[in-house]
Amino acid sequence: MKEDFLHAIWEQQLFRKGSLLLAGKDEVKVIKTGFRNYDSGPDFIQAKIILGDLEWIGSVEIHVKSSEWNTHNHQYDVAYQSVILHVVWEKDLEIFRKDGTVVPTLEMKELVPLQVVLRYRSLVQNEKKKISCSYFLPDIQSFVLVGMQERVLVERLERKGFEILERFESNKKDWLETFFQTIAWCLGLKINAEPMLILSQSVPVKVLAAQGWKTESLAAIFLGVGGFLTSTNGPAGEKLKADYDFISQKYGLDKPQILWKMFRIRPGSFPIQRILLLAVVINNLSSWFGLLTEAESPVEFFRQIEKSPKPEILQSYLKESGYQITGFGISDFIRENLIINVFAPFLTALGLYQNQPLWIEKAIDWLNQSPAEENSITRFWKNENVEIKTAGQSQALTELFNNFCLPKKCMSCQIGTKILKTETLV
pLDDT digits (tens, 9 = 90+) for 317-355: 888 887 776 666 678 888 999 999 999 999 999 999 999
426 — pLDDT class (breaks 50, 70, 90): very low
Q: Tell me: the pLDDT tens digits for 130-172?
A: 899 998 998 888 999 999 999 999 999 999 999 999 999 999 9
pLDDT of residue 314: 86
Q: Tell me: the pLDDT tens digits for 83-123?
A: 999 999 999 999 999 999 999 999 999 899 898 999 998 88
Domain ranges in the chain are 3-112, 154-368
- Mean pLDDT value of segment 41-50: 94
Q: What is the 3-state secondary structure (H, E, C) of the chain?
A: CCHHHHHHHHHCCCCCCCEEECCCCCEEEEEECCEECCCCCCCEEEEEEEECCEEEEEEEEEEEECCHHHHCCHHHCHHHCCEEEEEEEECCCCCECCCCCECCEEECCCCCCHHHHHHHHHHHCCCCCCCHHHHCHHHCCHHHHHHHHHHHHHHHHHHHHHHHHHHHHHCCCCHHHHHHHHHHHHHCHHHHHHHHHHHHHCCCHHHHHHCCCCHHHHHHHHHHHCCCCCCCCCHHHHHHHHHHHHHHHHHCCCCCCCCCCCCCCCHHHCHHHHHHHHHHHHHHHHHHHHHHHHCCCHHHHHHHHCCCCCCHHHHHHHHHHCCCCCCCCCCHHHHHHHHHHHHHHHHHHHHHHHCCHHHHHHHHHHHHCCECCCCHHHHHHHHCCCCCCEHHHHHHHHHHHHHHHCCCCHHHCHHHHHHHHCCCCC
Instruction: With a cut of 50, say whether residue 424 has pLDDT above it.
Output: no
Least confident stretch, 218-222, 319-323, 381-385, 394-398: 319-323
Least confident stretch, 91-100, 239-248, 299-308: 299-308
309 — pLDDT class (breaks 50, 70, 90): low
pTM for the complete prediction? 0.85
